[in-house]
Structure 1
């Protein structure tokens, strides 16, 4: 690496501040875990030089430029890409809690994985973390995966998501892992992973996939890598793997989690884990950290409804008119009733707000384009929404 740096100085007249080579070695060790030395360090140094050459060719290359390059190329959050930036568990939990309400245990577990990665305390030959999110439908399992992707990579859309119902048939394994022979096709999973330096990968509703798919995931979970049937390999060492399942989800509603046993034997959590052991092989479960999601309490359902209303109030149509929104208790309760159902959780809350609030507000704003600075009061009267602008 020092020879390459010296050669670049001689051939292209690049200038390196003291410590750049050492920083390249440290950064390559910490962040390019799937490659070996010296190749990964040489690759990183070339990337740093190329980026610096485009942005500021006349200025010297500094140690901070190495981490800036990693941040730029991988989209990893600055708090994780720059080692001098402090990151507390409390901050990670606070950010995730903004999007996922009522799941403090799950958020704490996920935040622990982020902090371990920041502190370089993850296993060297496995993914950063591998989780199995278990719980009733509509309580925040998928949303926590999205929020984690946004925190780590700056965007929910950076989440690599697989709807496992698409892999339910006998051809499910071929779709995910490819096929060999005359009609050789690459596997989707390896294709998606190649070229991503960091990733959050979600396998949603795992139990809907064909059992052969579970076997295919063992190598990824256990060794942090996978080779598809076309012979291509991808590393998952810099990935957080999340699998969700509703197996045993109905058991959470039978009594509060973790409190006492009943005649069927064991707490709901224990019975859910018994159901998991019936459905999934031990060697599969042993590679995963099981994270339980609790049913939503009435208080949390209210908070979710209030959050969706607050987000509606921030939309451009109201904000640019300097209008405030007030929702009565009666209408809030109606939104809660429509937005939550024990079997499906709070998945319908956004739709309830759209139907009961967004549509009538849009009618008022479209009909009165000159309306400004008003206090918009929304109530539930005689089985319908009533709006008044003061």
Structure 2
């Protein structure tokens, strides 16, 4: 009975055509070692979804057929538990009966190993059915060394699985399967790409695989639907990209877009004889591709129609055949009179009842066979035409990037820039977003370039940004995220005002065992494990509890830390700016008047204050204080640039509604002069500008079809905006 819900290793392997374990040599050897030793030789393998635990289990069965396989592994009898089938019975008595049969099979089979693919699902099903005693029985068999068990567990579920039985930790060896990286990941991904090539019958450029690895590794913090671990993320991205590419390539000639773009370029470039000749050649190529593709499409549609009609005809004839066979069987096997005749006619009846067919049935079977042969021949022709089209296709790195751009919303032109180009353009990218801090941006630009292109270490890049509120400390962090990782969503901000108590450290690395939230892990460590490429902003670091600094020192020293579950978290690709308002008073006194400070004097006074607030070893972690940076206070020219940028953003957003905002320069300057305060910096300005947008929203809500110009003024007495709407002439428009 157990055979129904125990899948043998050979059956499992047969379901995976051309299975081969690629990479994972060390982990596979570790698994084999665990299974062949005397004590704690059952195993719980945990890892993120998609990391390849099931593949590792299946590799055990595949290894048995290798000529050099050790007999310790060859002797193992592997069984997979069909959990879904078991609990699909829906009857607890039947489920218990089946489990008893399963345990009996495992008990009488020497060197048996039971493999459970989703352990938490099994435990939840047993708990919901009131059958947790089955876990006790299975654990008792493991303790008695009557069988071995291989439990596959998602890392997020590990704590819940370990809680379900106190003996799991003593009699099972825990094995953590982490994501492959580097050459191993590339080797696995290339092997997976070959499977996709066979499935789609389209070639994949190896550069496309590398691009998929890069995209799915670097940007996995985004909500892209690529939530599994590597190598599954890379395969998913390739799969999605190829599906979209084929839909387009099979609906329009693959090279048509390129030829039309080339024709448009030649048409715009001028009317020289050379361009005209090239344009004529391109037009001819376009016409040729269109005609050729139309011919292919006509053939494919014809084959498809013939295929559909043939299959429909076969289905009708088979239904007719079944009716005739049933009728013949009933007519010749039933003898209501209970008599048996011995004439020649009765011999024919007996012969038919014994399996001989009537002429009508024989004819119908022949028709079905001939139609099926025609359908099979038609299918071969269909595949030949589609293969001829697909052989011309190549899935490239550019297509991977375009697909990821659609998924993530990041502009494809940014994704196509390599790191060297991004670093080359870093200073300009920062200056376009942050005004009035040129010296600060110069410093950050140099530090990032040395960190990324100089002698690499495993440590993050730390900064301590000092200065008054609203001078751009947070904005620089956002600009860094956008410049290095193509989106400011790569910024993770931690407000240290929320980490002022001793127990708040658990928010970062997770709660200790026995406390609520232990299984969830830490907010910071989970974030970096999910996405090691990020800018991690620790805002107002002076407010943090001293224990937070201990964690920070460990990260800045070693480039890693461990979370509450003991998992190592690497910070080698993280930029870690920290902000503080210490030094604000000194920065605000920088000037050229009597009693004012120079920038260097303000910096020295700030360092003095920092020494009072922080431990020396903490300050030394910022590249020997090289990356402790004092931001300047903003001058009026900078404030005017910020306000003008906000007005420009409003205009860009409402341009589709034909609404334009005008703010005369004199009025803008007066607004900045009256509203700006160095103590709060530019922080309050966007809120003021929102009032302008509120005027637009009110107007468009009252009249959804309105279009016009909003003239903004500023009343210095009331310190409020004035407004005047000028409607556009719709008739003229």
Structure 1 length-normalised TM: 0.79
Q: Note the alpha carbon deviations across 1:234-261, whole angstroms, 9 max, x for none.
A: 000111111111112121111239x999
Q: 1:161: how far off?
A: 1.3
The answer on whether the counterparts of 2:588 and 2:679 sit within 8 Å (CA) in structure 1 is no
Match of 1:305 among 629, 643, 651: 643
* 1:243 lines up with 2:578 in the alignment: yes
Distance 1:338 1:164 in 2: 33
* 1:366 lines up with 2:701 in the alignment: yes
Listed as ranges, the matches of 1:120-135 within 5 Å are: 121-127=454-460, 129-135=461-467
Listed as ranges, the matches of 1:193-212 within 5 Å are: 193-212=528-547
Q: 1:224: how far off?
A: 0.6
* 1:59 lines up with 2:393 in the alignment: no
The answer on whether the counterparts of 2:713 and 2:723 sit within 8 Å (CA) in structure 1 is yes
Q: Note the alpha carbon deviations across 1:61-113, whole angstroms, 9 max, x for none.
A: 42463244212332299899879675275621111222211111222233234
Distance 2:489 2:418 in 1: 28
Distance 1:263 1:69 in 2: 51
Query: What residue number does 2:589 align with?
Result: 254
Q: 1:131 to 1:104 in 2, by over 3 A?
A: same
Structure 2, unaligned runs of 5 or more: 1-16, 21-176, 221-409, 728-733
Query: Deviation above 6 Å: which 4+ runs of structure 1?
Result: 76-85, 259-264
* 1:108 lines up with 2:108 in the alignment: no
Query: What residue number does 1:321 align with?
Result: 657
The answer on whether the counterparts of 1:226 and 1:235 sit within 8 Å (CA) in structure 2 is yes
Distance 1:150 1:67 in 2: 19
Q: 1:314: how far off?
A: 1.1
Secondary structure, in 3 states, of the residue corresponding to 1:101? coil
Match of 2:632 among 286, 291, 294: 294
Of stretches 375-384 and 217-226 in structure 1, the one that deviates more from structure 2 is: 375-384
Secondary structure, in 3 states, of the residue corresponding to 1:380? strand
The answer on whether the counterparts of 2:583 and 2:630 sit within 8 Å (CA) in structure 1 is no
Across the two proteins, how many residue pairs are aligned to each other? 353
Distance 1:52 1:103 in 2: 51
Q: Note the alpha carbon deviations across 1:287-322, whole angstroms, 9 max, x for none.
A: 112122111011101111111111111113xx1233
Secondary structure, in 3 states, of the residue corresponding to 1:194? helix
Q: 1:197 to 1:309 in 2, by over 3 A?
A: same
Bigger Rg, which one:
2
Q: 1:313 to 1:239 in 2, by over 3 A?
A: same
Of stretches 57-66 and 342-351 in structure 1, the one that deviates more from structure 2 is: 57-66
Match of 2:552 among 184, 203, 217: 217
The answer on whether the counterparts of 1:256 and 1:268 sit within 8 Å (CA) in structure 2 is no
The answer on whether the counterparts of 1:177 and 1:190 sit within 8 Å (CA) in structure 2 is yes
Of stretches 228-237 and 343-352 in structure 1, the one that deviates more from structure 2 is: 228-237
Q: 1:338 to 1:368 in 2, by over 3 A?
A: farther
Structure 2 length-normalised TM: 0.44
Distance 1:389 1:352 in 2: 22
Distance 2:535 2:188 in 1: 26
Q: CA RMSD in A?
A: 3.6
Structure 1, unaligned runs of 5 or more: 1-9, 14-34
Match of 1:171 among 503, 507, 525: 503
Secondary structure, in 3 states, of the residue corresponding to 2:537? strand
Higher fraction of helix: 2
Secondary structure, in 3 states, of the residue corresponding to 2:512? coil
Distance 1:43 1:116 in 2: 27
